[in-house]
Amino acid sequence: MTTITMAIAELEARIRRIFTNCGVRAETAGAVARVIAAGERDNCKSHGIYRVEGCLRVLKAGKVAPDAIPEVRSGEGPIIRVDAGGGYASPAYEAARPTLIERARRQGLAALVINDCVHFSALWYEVEDLAGEGLAVLSMCPSHAAMAPSGGRAPLLGTNPFAFGWPRPGKDPYVFDFATTLVARGEIELHEREGKALPEGWAVGPDGQPTTDPSAALAGAMLPFGQHKGSAIATMIELLAGAMLGDFMSQEAREFMEGTRLLPRHGALILAFDPSAFSQGRDRDPLADGERLLQGIADQGARLPSQRRYAARRIARAEGIRLSTEEVALLDRLEAQ
Q: Which residues are catalytic?
A: 46-47, 187
**Residues present in the chain in total:** 337
Cα 292 to Cα 284: distance, rounded to the nearest angstrom: 13
Closer to ligand NDP by CB, 28 or 274: give it: 28
Closer to ligand PYC by CB, 6 or 89: give it: 89
Residues that bind ligand PYC (rule: CB under 6 A) add up to a total of 11
- Taking CB under 6 A as the rule, does residue 46 contact ligand NDP? yes
- Taking CB under 6 A as the rule, does residue 187 contact ligand NDP? yes
- Taking CB under 6 A as the rule, does residue 84 contact ligand NDP? no
CB-based contacts of 66, cutoff 8 Å, min separation 6: 22, 23, 24, 25, 28, 59, 87
- Taking CB under 6 A as the rule, does residue 124 contact ligand NDP? yes
Residues 33-52 that bind ligand PYC (CB under 6 A): 46
- Taking CB under 6 A as the rule, does residue 159 contact ligand PYC? yes
Interface map 103-122 toward ligand PYC (x if CB under 6 A): ----------------xx--
Cα 107 to Cα 72: distance, rounded to the nearest angstrom: 18
- Per the CB < 8 A criterion, the answer to whether 31 and 91 are in contact is yes
Cα 131 to Cα 172: distance, rounded to the nearest angstrom: 9
Task: Choose from ligand NDP, ligand PYC, none: what does 88 bind? Cβ within 5-8 Å by kind.
Answer: none
Closer to ligand PYC by CB, 177 or 274: give it: 177
User: Can you tell me whether residue 111 is helix, strand or coil?
Assistant: strand
Exposed, middle or buried, 134 (CB in 10 Å: 0-12/13-18/19+)?
Answer: middle
- Taking CB under 6 A as the rule, does residue 250 contact ligand NDP? no
| Alpha helices per DSSP H over the chain | 8-21, 26-41, 50-60, 89-107, 124-131, 185-194, 214-219, 228-241, 250-256, 275-278, 286-299, 307-319, 325-336
Contacting range for ligand PYC; rule: CB under 6 A; set: 68-76, 177-185, 246-254, 320-328: 177-185
Residues of this chain that interact with ligand NDP (CB under 6 A) are: 46-47, 119, 121-124, 141, 143, 159, 161, 163, 176-179, 183-184, 187, 303, 305-309
Residues of this chain that interact with ligand PYC (CB under 6 A) are: 46, 119-120, 143, 159, 179, 184-186, 263-264
